Structure formats: C-alpha cells, structure tokens
Structure 1
Amino acid sequence: MEVQESSLKPCPPLIVVTNIEVTDGKYKELIDSLPKEERFPPGLRKYKGFWQFQNAIPGVLAMKEDFKPRCDDVIVSSFPKSGTTWLKALTFTIMHRDKYTFSSHPLLKLNPHDCVPFIELHYSLKNEQYLETLPSPRVLGTHVPYSLLSDSIKTSTCPIIHICRDPKDVIVSFWHMSAKFDWLMEPLSFKQTYELFCEGRVPTGPVWDNVLEYYTKSLSSPKKILIIKYAEMLKDPANSVMRIANFIGCPFSKEEMKSGLVEKIAEFCSFNKLKNFDTKQSEGNLKSYYYRKGIVGDWQNYMTPEMANNLDKITKEKLCDSSFTF
C-alpha cells in the first residue's frame, strides 16, 4: 500500500504528556505507589528501574499491554535528545524513497515526529487508533526502554534501530529543551539538570541502563536490533544511510548507488536541511524542541572539567561490565 501524505498529521511534542491528568483507576493506584522524584517537575515516578513522567506511565503501560506491531513495521528507539529526530527522518526517507521525490516529500511540510509518531504518546493521549490508520509499512518511534516494550514487539520480526549519544552532549541538549517547557515556573539550572542526570533521575533514565538494554539484546539478536552511534552518523552519514537501509530490508540497488541516491538522502535529511525546511512546526516554538546545534562536543561550553570528568567516571562505571562505549 502506498503511503499517502494525507494519512500523516501534525502531532504534539511528546512533552504534552506532562499535562495529562491521570484519572484512569486501572493505573492510578500503581502510579501512586511508585517512588517519586519531585525535583524534576511535574514529578517523575520510577517504574521497573526507569524514571518516567508520572503522567506518561499510563501510556507506557497501555503500549506494553496492547500494542501489536505489523510484520513490516520498523521501530526507531532512543533516549531523549540522542538524535531521535534525525534518525526518524533518515529511516522514513529510506523506507519510502520509491514513494516520494525530494521536491514533494512530506518532510518539507511535516516534522519527522509527524511522519514517525511516538507509540507511547498516542497511547497516553488515548489516540492509539491513529496508529492503525497509517498504511504499511510504518516507521514508529519510542523512548521506552527495551524491557518495557510489548512482548509482541520483542517477538516480532520488525527491526528496531536504537540511536545513542555521548551523555555529556545529551545533558546539554536536554537542558536547553527543558528550559522551553511551559509548565516550568522556574526552569532548572544547568547544575540541577546535571545532578539529576548523573543520578539517572530524568525521563526514561538512567541513560546507561536504557542504552545497555538495547545493546545487550543486539549482541544476541543482531538482526533484531541495530545500534547507531550519533557521533559516527555525524562523521559518515552516507554510511549510516546504507547501514539503516540494509538492516530494515531495503538495500540500495546498484542503480541507486550509481545515481548518488545514498548521498542525496543523507543531504536531504541533514540537520541543517531539516531545521530550515521544518516551517510548519516553527509555530508555538515547537521547532526549538527538536533542533539546536546538532554537533558533537558542545558540552565543553557548559561543563567544567570537573563535571565532565565526573560524568565520564560514572559512565565508565555503569558500562564496566559491557563492551559498549558511546
């Protein structure tokens, strides 16, 4: 079935779940019993080892219980501010490269998060039926740790691509985004954000546990999960385009390679291009949720050497039992 642009629609940013009131008795008692972190307004709860916005937990639980993937779905996974928007744009464009020309592409009018909706967001909004209206093949996104995915996703044939990024840059990007949360009467300082991050007390954190779940599973199921590192993708985007295409079962033909299509997709989905032609989502400051600098090493402009060394030490300790590095 051909993907029609009309089947896609603008979606609110995932952060809207913070404004959802938890009234569903099915989950309210459970949520009220979970450990709470009040330093990160409007409050986080720890469920199964991971901190979540307490108002997002019903959507996460409903997704885990009820979501059924299609055999040709592709799941894009990430810890927040790790390159999610970029990976969504690349994966969607690669998957549907025979449906759209660059001059009439949905990304010219819609944000990558509209083309690749977050599964848990629509469950939180009780709008999960929208996901069923999308024609196959679907590309869907999630920030949910692997252990909290539905069993139907884990046992399905649909591939999962997980992108990860240096935690130091993640903190900086996350802090800039959180400063734009309209529900924060007083935005968190960088020091406060840093301390909470180091403790793992941020949405879907700790980051190390989130990434390690996907990485560990990728070792035993390399055809199921592909790990993409942000720094490597930035260094050689064309190679990442080919890796993604091969992994999701859409390899480039010799003719496509010869025509330069790989490089054209990498350029079309480059950070600067996405930031510039994402016109519709600039309203209401939504663009600033998704795009800032997109570079490696910006943490040096915000952290003292002591802060950076401390976080590197924590990261090394958290990853010491694995071969994974950012």
Structure 2
Amino acid sequence: MAQDRSESLNPLEASRQPDEDLVARLPTREGWSTPLTLYDNCWLRSHMVSKFMLVRDDFKPRRDDIILATHPKSGTTWLKSLAFTISSRSRCTFADHPLLTSNPQRVVPFIGVPGTGGDLDHLDTLPSPRLLSTHLPLTLLPPTVSTVGCRVVYLCREPKDAFVSRWHFDNKIGTGAPISLEDAFDMFCQGCSPFGPFWDHHLQYWNESLARPQEVMFLRYEEIVSDPLKVVRNLACFLGVPFTEEEEKSGLAEQIVRFCSFDSLRNLDANKAGGGVERAGGKIFLEASSLFRKGKVGDWVNHMSKDMGEKMDLLVKDKFKGSGLEF
C-alpha cells in the first residue's frame, strides 16, 4: 500500500504542502502558452499554482520590505530597474552596476517563483531591507502585507496596450501553436489571462493605495513614459531615500533615468538575445530579449481593430465605474 507522502514529512514540512487534490479539482483552461488554473478568483499558470498557494501562509513580510507589484506586461522590468538603481545607489556605481551583467528580473526576485531567487526559504535569508516583486493580486499575499508597514509600489498600464504586449509575449514563450489575436482578446476580456482578471488586480491595489497612501504608491506606465524624471524623484521619496541637494546638483536623477531607459536596458548585453535565458518554475523558457519589445504607448492601434478597441474601452469603463480609477 502506497504511503501518504505527508507521512514522510515532519509536521512543519507537511503543513507547507499544498493540497494536491484541491489543485486537481480547480477549474483549468487552455489557450495561452501554458494552461491556466483558477485559484481564489485569480487565473494562475497551472504549473505554478501549488507554489503560489504557499505564499499567503508562508511568506513573512517585514516592516522595511519594499514590494513591487505589477500586472504582467505593465512595465515590470522598467520598474524593477528604476527601484533597484534608486535604492542601491549608495553602494553601486554605474561603472560596476549589477544591471550591466544581470537581467532586472533576477536582480529583484519574484516572491514564490523558483529560479528567480524568489523561493520562500531563500527570501528568509536575504538581508533587510528587501526589494521584492510579485504579479500576485493583493488577496493572494499574506494579510500582514497590509498591516506590518512594508511599502508597496503598484504599476499598471492602459489595458489595450497591456493586452497587446501580453499576446506578443505569450507567443514568444510558447512551444505550441501561437494563440490568435482574436482568441487571446476574448479570453483577456473574460478575465482569463495570467494573473487575471486584470480589473480585479488593478482595483485591489488601487483601493489599498486610497486606504494607505503613505505605504502604497499607485503608478501608471504612461506616467513613467511621459515624465520619467518626476517619477524617479517621487519614487525615491516614497522608498525613503530622497535625492540629496548634492545629488540633484550632480544630475544623478537624470543619470538614473538615462541608465534605466527602455533603449538603454534593451541594448545591454545581459538583455540581448542570447545574453541569458530566464526560467520560471521549470515550464517557461525565454530569452532575456523577449522582455523588451516596443514599450510604446498607444501601440495597440497597430494590432487591434477599432471594434476591439471600443469593446475593451466599454469593458474598462464598466469594471472601474465608481472606483475613481480611469484609463
């Protein structure tokens, strides 16, 4: 008779094992580059569900943590680069900067994602203050994120542009037949996309930023594009490391903007094709260059029909009605 696997574990290890029967019973849907499973009203890549189930119970936020939260394809790589460069400027120079040799996704680990430095046991060993990242909605993070005092920076993007970026990205990392724009659009509008529905994701962090504005900063991708210098200065203040008068006189904020610009990051050897392969959970393989496409605001018009754009706009208007959040 087969032994129950939990019997071979000590009590702590057993308590940290996801309920595999529960995972198997959860709704699953094909269509994107990997299957998605619906857990707690959030669509997650099926091969990562068990890892993410542990985050809410086992991740231990610290008071001085900084968590960069994003919905996928909303400027995650850019935000990581800016936040890391701002917060580490006292110990890193531009000449020997970690981003010259490492992709931003590795420099700032994803909570609960093995292979990115985000394994929960490994995160416990990192010195404070920790700079971490997540695509998880607020409801899948520990409740103490909202009470212990850690700071959260949330970045979102205009949904039509985010969708187009999502579609391109999934077709780059997929190994099977590419998903058509029409099929991807239908699923996205139904809320079925990695870490979707996107409206729930945005609203959770938006409402948290209204309730705790000193601890939750809500940013739009378009703000970074239109005025990166202003965002860098505001971000430095929020992170508790504002630029000194001397740093302002030396033009350090402008240097950070240039160093972390989309074109600058894309042209670094660490982020070029063949310059390294990112791995997430053992199921997704991608060249670092796939994290950099265009980054243009309004690029959706080159891919989506006018009818698609209008449908998305109506959906967004309906989902965010009365929230104060507009796109």
Residues 320 and 242 (structure 1), Cα distance of their counterparts in 2 relative to 1, 3 Å cut: same
SS in 2 for 1:218: helix
SS in 2 for 1:163: strand
- Percent identity, aligned pairs only, is 40
Partner of 1:304: 305
Gaps of 5+ in 1: 1-23
The answer on 1:237 being equivalent to 2:238 is: no
CA offsets 1:74-117 (integer angstroms, 9 cap, x no match): 10000000000000000011111111111110000001111101
Partner of 2:5: none
Q: Return the match for 1:158 from 150, 164, 177.
A: 150
Amino acid of the residue matched to residue 149 of structure 2? T
Aligned equivalents of 2:88, 2:118: Cα separation in 1: 28
1:119-268 maps to which residues of 2 (within 5 A)?
A: 119-122=111-114, 127-182=119-174, 184-268=175-259
1:37-116 maps to which residues of 2 (within 5 A)?
A: 37-40=29-32, 42-116=34-108
Larger Rg computed on CA atoms: 2
Structure 1 position 282, deviation (Å): 3.3
Aligned equivalents of 1:289, 1:92: Cα separation in 2: 21
The answer on 1:279 being equivalent to 2:280 is: no
Amino acid of the residue matched to residue 120 of structure 1? G
SS in 2 for 1:121: coil
SS in 2 for 1:186: coil
Gaps of 5+ in 2: 1-15, 278-285
The answer on 1:316 being equivalent to 2:307 is: no
CA offsets 1:137-179 (integer angstroms, 9 cap, x no match): 2210000001111123222211000000011111111111111
Aligned equivalents of 2:17, 2:57: Cα separation in 1: 16
Amino acid of the residue matched to residue 304 of structure 2? M
Aligned equivalents of 2:308, 2:271: Cα separation in 1: 38
Structure 1 position 122, deviation (Å): 2.9
Residues 212 and 126 (structure 1), Cα distance of their counterparts in 2 relative to 1, 3 Å cut: closer
Structure 1 position 125, deviation (Å): 9.4
Structure 1 position 124, deviation (Å): 10
Partner of 2:12: none
Aligned equivalents of 2:87, 2:95: Cα separation in 1: 17
Given that 1:107 and 1:278 are in contact with CA atoms closer than 8 Å, whether structure 2 keeps it comes out as: no
Q: After the TM superposition, which of the residue ranges 277-286 and 206-215 deviates more from structure 2?
A: 277-286
Q: How many residues align?
A: 302
Structure 1 position 128, deviation (Å): 2.6
Structure 1 segments (4+ residues) deviating >4 Å: 123-126
Structure 1 position 41, deviation (Å): 5.1
Amino acid of the residue matched to residue 81 of structure 1? K
Residues 194 and 137 (structure 1), Cα distance of their counterparts in 2 relative to 1, 3 Å cut: same
Aligned equivalents of 1:156, 1:322: Cα separation in 2: 26
SS in 2 for 1:56: helix
Residues 278 and 144 (structure 1), Cα distance of their counterparts in 2 relative to 1, 3 Å cut: farther
Given that 2:236 and 2:242 are in contact with CA atoms closer than 8 Å, whether structure 1 keeps it comes out as: yes
Structure 1 position 134, deviation (Å): 2.9
Residues 278 and 71 (structure 1), Cα distance of their counterparts in 2 relative to 1, 3 Å cut: farther
Q: After the TM superposition, which of the residue ranges 286-295 and 116-125 deviates more from structure 2?
A: 116-125
Residues 126 and 259 (structure 1), Cα distance of their counterparts in 2 relative to 1, 3 Å cut: closer
Residues 29 and 281 (structure 1), Cα distance of their counterparts in 2 relative to 1, 3 Å cut: farther
Aligned equivalents of 1:121, 1:274: Cα separation in 2: 23
Partner of 1:6: none
